[in-house]
């Protein structure tokens, strides 16, 4: 429903945003910015406040910055003429001392989804991959996947792909999982991320550090790897053993799927694995979640 406050409300907000007394009071300044966002969400055209909102970005208040980013990115997408000004503002914040600000700026920049801005975004994303803060690296990794999706016909620099592969050994487990997802997206025309022996064993050893859905993602990707010997196969099965009895049904189901894929030529081992998970799967059938019950029953079948 369109906002019916009229032009007077926008003029009042402009006066408030430009008022030195408001700017000197962090809480009043943030609340004024919030009013702008509220009007925008109600359908009002507040694009005339663009320059005032750019100035409002010069703050140490992370909440206010996030609100301003929402405004800037919304209008930059609608008005490409303003997009370069927005990108320059965000690029400046990508060098902020606060890692939260750097990650917010990087995320907002990649959310602009404007092919004409790709050349301006690449350098901050490359720097983000090497940032000392894990939260920035997480955003930068996924940012490259967004860029690849934005220009599917363009070949991504091999140096970036190599850097993403190297980040599979990042100390932060979320960065590792994000790298897998990004490489899957970037290399989808080539069959996805290449899984070799060193990567497989590294990911299996880091599995316990990931959250539930991160573990499921790792286990899914590992299904395309085939051990080179029986000794390696049983080493992998030993590493998978704790996950086979995981208290989290999605992890248990993903592990079982990988287990059965690896043991396709070993029916006795496959049967033993099925016997081990039968009890937990039946327990999951009694879950209060209908989705969990459905998934468990599918695996039982």
Q: Summarize pLDDT for 4-15 with one digit per residue, the tens.
A: 456 889 999 999
Q: pLDDT confidence of 153, banded at 50, 70, 90?
A: low
For 130-133, the CB contacts below 8 A with 24+ separation are 131/99, 131/102, 132/99, 133/99, 133/102, 133/103
Residue 278 has pLDDT above 60, yes or no: yes
Q: Percentage of residues in the chain with pLDDT exceeding 70? A: 95
Q: Residue 189: its pLDDT value, please? A: 87
Residue 181 has pLDDT above 80, yes or no: yes
Q: pLDDT confidence of 71, banded at 50, 70, 90?
A: very high
**Residue 7 has which token pair?**
């032009």
Taking only the tens place, the pLDDT of each residue in 282-300 is 777 777 777 777 776 776 6
Claim to verify: residue 94 and residue 164 sit in the same structural domain:
yes
Please report, for the domain that includes residue 168, its CATH number: 1.25.10.10
Q: Residue 5: its pLDDT value, please? A: 55
Q: Under DSSP, is residue 75 helix (H, G, I), strand (E, B) or coil? A: helix
Claim to verify: residue 169 and residue 242 sit in the same structural domain:
no
Residues of the domain holding 271: 237-301
Claim to verify: residue 171 and residue 246 sit in the same structural domain:
no
pTM of the predicted structure, to 2 decimals: 0.85
Provide the Cα torsion 168, 170, 175, 176; round to 10°: 30
Q: Where are the alpha helices (DSSP H) in 187-289?
A: 197-206, 212-221, 230-244, 249-262, 267-284
Q: Under DSSP, is residue 245 helix (H, G, I), strand (E, B) or coil? A: coil
Claim to verify: residue 94 and residue 169 sit in the same structural domain:
yes
Looking at 143, 175, 207, the residue that finishes a domain is: 175
Mean predicted confidence (pLDDT) in 192-202: 94
Contact between residue 79 and residue 98 where contact means Cβ atoms under 8 Å apart: no
Q: Under DSSP, is residue 119 helix (H, G, I), strand (E, B) or coil? A: helix
Q: Percentage of residues in the chain with pLDDT exceeding 90? A: 55
Q: Is residue 222 part of a domain?
A: no
Contacts of residue 159, defined as CB under 8 A and 6 or more positions apart, other chains included, come to none
d(C-alpha 135, C-alpha 129), whole Å: 10
Q: Is residue 199 part of a domain?
A: no
Q: Is residue 1 part of a domain?
A: no
Q: Residue 2: its pLDDT value, please? A: 47
Q: Residue 269: its pLDDT value, please? A: 81
Looking at 175, 198, 221, the residue that finishes a domain is: 175
Count of domains in the chain? 2
Residue 183 has pLDDT above 60, yes or no: yes
Q: Residue 201: its pLDDT value, please? A: 94
- Please work out, in degrees rounded to the nearest 5, the angle formed at the alpha carbon of residue 210 by the alpha carbons of 148 and 238: 115
Q: Is residue 2 part of a domain?
A: no
Taking only the tens place, the pLDDT of each residue in 43-53 is 888 988 988 99
Q: Residue 63: its pLDDT value, please? A: 93
Claim to verify: residue 94 and residue 171 sit in the same structural domain:
yes
Q: Is residue 16 part of a domain?
A: no
Looking at 175, 201, 229, the residue that finishes a domain is: 175
Q: Residue 108: its pLDDT value, please? A: 92
Q: Is residue 192 part of a domain?
A: no
Q: Is residue 59 part of a domain?
A: no
Q: Is residue 132 part of a domain?
A: yes
């Amino acid at each position: 429903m369109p906002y019916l406050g009229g032009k007077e409300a926008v003029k009042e907000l402009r006066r408030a945003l430009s008022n030195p007394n408001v700017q000197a009071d962090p809480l009043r300044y943030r609340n004024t910015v919030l009013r702008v966002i509220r009007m925008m969400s109600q359908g009002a055209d507040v694009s005339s406040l663009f320059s005032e909102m750019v100035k409002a970005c010069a703050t140490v208040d992370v909440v206010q910055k996030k609100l301003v980013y929402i405004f800037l990115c919304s209008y930059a997408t609608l008005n490409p003429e303003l997009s370069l000004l927005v990108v320059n503002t965000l690029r400046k914040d990508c060098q902020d001392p606060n890692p939260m600000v750097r990650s917010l700026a990087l995320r907002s920049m990649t959310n602009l989804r404007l092919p004409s801005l790709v050349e301006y975004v690449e350098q901050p994303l490359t720097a983000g991959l090497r940032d000392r803060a894990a939260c920035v690296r997480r955003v930068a990794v996924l940012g490259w996947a967004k860029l690849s999706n934005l220009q599917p016909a363009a070949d991504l620099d091999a140096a970036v792909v190599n850097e993403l592969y190297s980040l599979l050994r990042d100390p932060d487990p979320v960065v590792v999982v994000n790298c897998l997802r990004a490489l899957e997206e970037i290399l989808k025309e080539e069959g996805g991320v290449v899984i070799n022996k060193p990567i497989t064993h590294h990911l299996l050893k880091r599995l316990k550090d990931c959250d539930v859905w991160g573990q499921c993602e790792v286990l899914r990707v590992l299904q395309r790897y085939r051990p080179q010997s029986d000794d390696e196969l049983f080493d992998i099965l030993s590493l998978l053993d704790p996950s086979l009895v995981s208290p989290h049904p999605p992890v248990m189901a993903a592990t079982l799927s990988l287990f059965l894929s690896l043991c396709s030529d070993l029916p006795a081992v496959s049967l033993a694995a099925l016997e081990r998970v039968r009890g937990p799967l039946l327990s999951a059938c009694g879950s209060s979640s209908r989705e969990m019950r459905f998934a468990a029953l599918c695996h039982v079948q």
